[in-house]
Amino acid sequence: VASQVYPKELATVAALPSGTPIRLRPIRPEDEPLLIELAARMTPEDLRLRFFAAIRELTHEAAARLVRIDYAHDMALIAQPMHDEEILGVARYAATPDTREAEFAVAVRSDWKGHGVGWLLMEKLVDTARQRGIRVMSGLVLRANPNMLRFCRDLGFAIASNPDDPLTVFASLVLG
């Protein structure tokens, strides 16, 4: 991974619909144990919906790859409470070398789903992608994930079938 400057200007505080403030910031290598803990606090079903595979835990190797990013082509934002370091959710994208398109993914800790954390993360991720010149953001979603499909539609993403895989669809947003 090409070493890049940590984009600390992306750190922000935003409020959930309940009024609870949440800190958002780009992930950094030191967050690896917190990311492993986040995965440990997701149900097997939520992990399967995120990774499309039955994984029992996030290994050190997998977590290391997810926290070491270049912030130029790859971005990952985490959500944290105001006074605790625990990670409540992550949204990330990986852009093509020309940074015109990016693929995204998002996961929220199972006991925090439905409180607006995913929404805050995705809004900030879309803003960041737009600022960085990405034109289209898309992601693969399992057809059997109606919550995510509804969430994507609410965020303005269009849903299209994936000709290569009947079990997944593409959720895409033009950022123009």
Ligand X SMILES: CC(C)(COP(=O)(O)OP(=O)(O)OC[C@H]1O[C@@H](n2cnc3c(N)ncnc32)[C@H](O)[C@@H]1OP(=O)(O)O)[C@@H](O)C(=O)NCCC(=O)NCCS
Binding mask 131-150 for ligand X (x = CB under 6 A): --------x-x---x-xx-x
Stretch that binds ligand X, among 3-11, 24-32, 70-78, 109-117 (CB under 6 A): 109-117
Binding mask 16-35 for ligand X (x = CB under 6 A): -x------------------
| DSSP letter (8 states) at residue 130 | H
Q: Does 111 bind ligand X (CB under 6 A)?
A: no
* Contact assessment for residue 48 and residue 54, using Cβ atoms and an 8 Å cutoff: yes
* Contact assessment for residue 60 and residue 32, using Cβ atoms and an 8 Å cutoff: yes
| DSSP letter (8 states) at residue 116 | S
Residue 23 pairs with which residues in a beta bridge?
Answer: 13, 80
Cβ neighbours for 20, distance < 8 A, ≥ 6 positions apart? 81, 115
Amino acid letter, 69: I
For ligand X, the closer of residues 4 and 162 by Cβ is 162
**Given 31, 35, 39, 50, the residue binding ligand X (CB under 6 A):** 50
For ligand X, the closer of residues 37 and 72 by Cβ is 37
* Contact assessment for residue 79 and residue 89, using Cβ atoms and an 8 Å cutoff: yes
Q: Does 46 bind ligand X (CB under 6 A)?
A: yes
Residues lying near ligand X in the complex (CB under 6 A): 17, 46, 49-50, 105-108, 113-119, 139, 141, 145, 147-148, 150-151, 154
